[in-house]
Amino acid sequence: MNSSAPTPADDADLARARPVIAAVREGAPLIHCLTATVSMQLVADGLLAAGARPMMTETLDEAPVVTTLADALLVNLGTLSTDGMAGIPATVEVARCDSRPWVLDPTAIGIAPVRTPLAQKLLGARPAVVRGNASEVMALVGAGTGGRGADSTAAPGSAEQAAREVVRRTGGTVAVSGEVDLVQSPHAQVRLERGSVLLPRVTGTGCLLGALTAACTAVTDDSFAAALAATTWVNLAGELAESRATGPGSFRMQLLDALDEIGRCP
């Protein structure tokens, strides 16, 4: 990721993402987030700053029903609970049966004995987008043992073959995050070298990217365009936030403001 000055209005990466960003703001999609408890606040605040709307529940009794109200679903395995283990498969099944787009974020899979087989099983439900770091994407197809917790020990480039395998199995898109982001679909591939070194120093920015990816899938049928727009949006917001921040704490606050600002007409 590169530290950078604020994004100019004629930035080519922004121009490519702008239609999806505008559609999120216009449509204000409701995103059902089954996400890590440590990141719920940032995910909710970030979706609202971007123009989307969050809701969060993971129990078997409520999550499948609640997701019928949503425009898209995020499944993040970051702090997998007993409730989540029971509620996630049923909720994904409802989304799948209703043709509602959903995003799988297989956080910290690898040697974890519960979330890893769950993530691999969920892959069969054909998420519109899989979003993770290189170690997670490789572990998803049995090509590695994962990283250190939520941190990758592999470079995004090393996950390219695994990403192609995920695409083959799902027919959708994979977004591999890292110093150089890789977005791969059956028909296209883009590498994006943008962002801020402060993004990985704030808990939940990856979870937020997953949620924003879900918001983007809610406003376009093109999962590649959705994943690329969300990745670009967070990276450019990170660049803008870093230019205004004095450290990780102020960066978190500035990131929310930047999510609201990126892509608006000057």
Task: Quote the pLDDT of residue 164.
Answer: 95
C-alpha radius of gyration, the chain, whole number: 17
Residue with tokens 């791969």: 184
- pLDDT per position as a tens digit, 220-264: 999 999 999 999 999 999 999 999 999 999 999 999 999 999 998
- CA–CA dist 43, 185 (Å, integer): 25
* Rounded Cα–Cα distance for residues 7 and 240 (Å): 7
pLDDT of residue 1: 42
What pLDDT is stored for residue 261 in this prediction?
Answer: 96
Cα 80 from Cα 87, distance rounded (Å): 11
Q: What are 170-206's pLDDT values in tens digits?
A: 999 999 998 899 999 999 999 999 999 999 999 999 9
| 24 contacts: CB under 8 Å, gap ≥ 6 | 50, 51, 52, 215, 216, 218, 219
Residue 147: the pLDDT is 47
User: What pLDDT digit, counting tens, does each position of 58-117 carry?
Assistant: 999 999 999 999 999 999 998 888 888 899 999 999 999 999 999 999 998 888 888 999
Mean pLDDT of the chain: 91
pLDDT at 78: 84
Residue 213 backbone dihedrals phi, psi, to 5 degrees: -60, -45
